[in-house]
Amino acid sequence: MALLEYAIIGGILYGIFFSLVGVGLNLIFGVLRMINLAHGQFIVLGGFGAWIVYQYLKLNPAFGIVLSIIGAIIIGYPLYWAVVPRLQKSADPEMLSFILFFGLAQMIDAAMILGFGVSQRSVPTETLGAGNIGLLGQTFPDSWWVAAAVAVLAILGLYLFLTRTRLGFATRAVTANRAEALASGIEVDRISLLSFVIGLALAGVAGVFIPFLLGSVSPSLGDGLTTTSFAIIIIGSLGRPIGTVVGGLVFGLGTMLMETYLPSWSDLVPYALLVIIVLVRPSGLLGRAVRQT
């Protein structure tokens, strides 16, 4: 019973964190109708940001969050203007974005290898707290709780932005129907740009905690994180950022339960869930027919 409790609490914490890992990808897809296949690479860049902050600036790696946001703005604006408007004008932006961002992912991988080498980089766990915090008698490292707390705050912030601000309303309008939003006078390009940058920033912020939850950060992690994120947002609801939370929780709980009782099969979890969801409920657990245009 204790093992089950541990797996459930661990799964919830892990799942909340993975909601943050996937939410940026979902936001960008929802608004731009583009699949950012370089999403995992932006997460890894966030991880290296935390490592740089700790290693060279001698600051707490949590300051990597600030660096990730600044980095998302610096990279996101020019990248958006360089590629997105051209893609939007093409006959099949979804498919072209797939190819373009795949190429971008390979470029970022290569640049990270040039900059950081192929070795794993870590940040001491104690920098986010040296102890363990318990819940219902089950203890987890401080870093897990911090990662989950930051994920909750970031997703809550995104939720409030989408439901309480004018820009958020406009973002939802673009997500619901881009053509109608344009016809009703919404500055679709501006909203798209903002969503793109927020999506990258959320990826970077998630990356800050990768060295803590996955042991280390290295350039090779990117593709795996993209695939997992993709599975999570399909499980939750493709195109609905808040649905990612449900996808993340299902992924986290599934993974931890499998690790407890059938560890050798645990990496099948996201893909098995993805296949089941696509077959049974193609719009995701929280989904509507979001891909209608």
Inter-CA distances, 215 with 22, 35, 139, 156, Å: 19, 28, 18, 26
Alpha-carbon distances, residue 188 vs 55, 88, 98, 167 (angstroms): 40, 11, 21, 11
Question: Please, what is the minimum distance in Å from the beta carbon of residue 252 to another protein?
Answer: 10
User: How far is CA 158 from each of CA 20, 75, 142, 235, 244, rounded to the nearest angstrom?
Assistant: 11, 20, 24, 19, 12
Q: What is the DSSP letter of 187?
A: -
Of these, 85, 103, 115, 224, which contacts another protein (CB under 8 A)?
224
Residue type, 226: T
| DSSP 8-state symbol, 263 | G
Q: Which of residues 118-147 bind another protein (CB under 8 A)?
A: 118-122, 124-125, 131-132, 139-141, 143-144
CA-to-CA separations, 35 to 60, 97, 124, 153, in angstroms, rounded: 33, 6, 34, 25
Residue 182 corresponds to which tokens in the numbers above? 């344009």
Q: Which is closer to another protein, CB of 88 or CB of 120? A: 120
Q: Which is nearer to another protein, 85 or 224 (CB)?
A: 224
| Interface pick for another protein out of 164, 264, 279, 292 (rule CB under 8 A) | 264
**∠ Cα 159 28 172 (to 5°):** 45
Residue 42 interacts with another protein (CB under 8 A): yes or no: no
Question: Is residue 76 within the footprint of another protein (CB under 8 A)?
Answer: no
Q: Which of 40, 76, 219, 241 binds another protein (CB under 8 A)?
A: 219
Taking the C-alpha atoms of residue 121 and residue 47, their distance in angstroms, rounded to an integer, is 9
Give the x/- contact pattern for another protein in 84-123, rule: CB under 8 A: -------------------------xx--x----xxxxx-
Residue 80 CB, shortest distance to another protein, in Å, is 27
- The reply to whether 2 sits near another protein by the rule CB under 8 A is yes
Q: Note the residues at the interface with another protein (CB under 8 A).
A: 2-3, 6-7, 10-11, 14, 109-110, 113, 118-122, 124-125, 131-132, 139-141, 143-144, 213-216, 218-220, 224, 255-256, 259-260, 263-264, 266-267
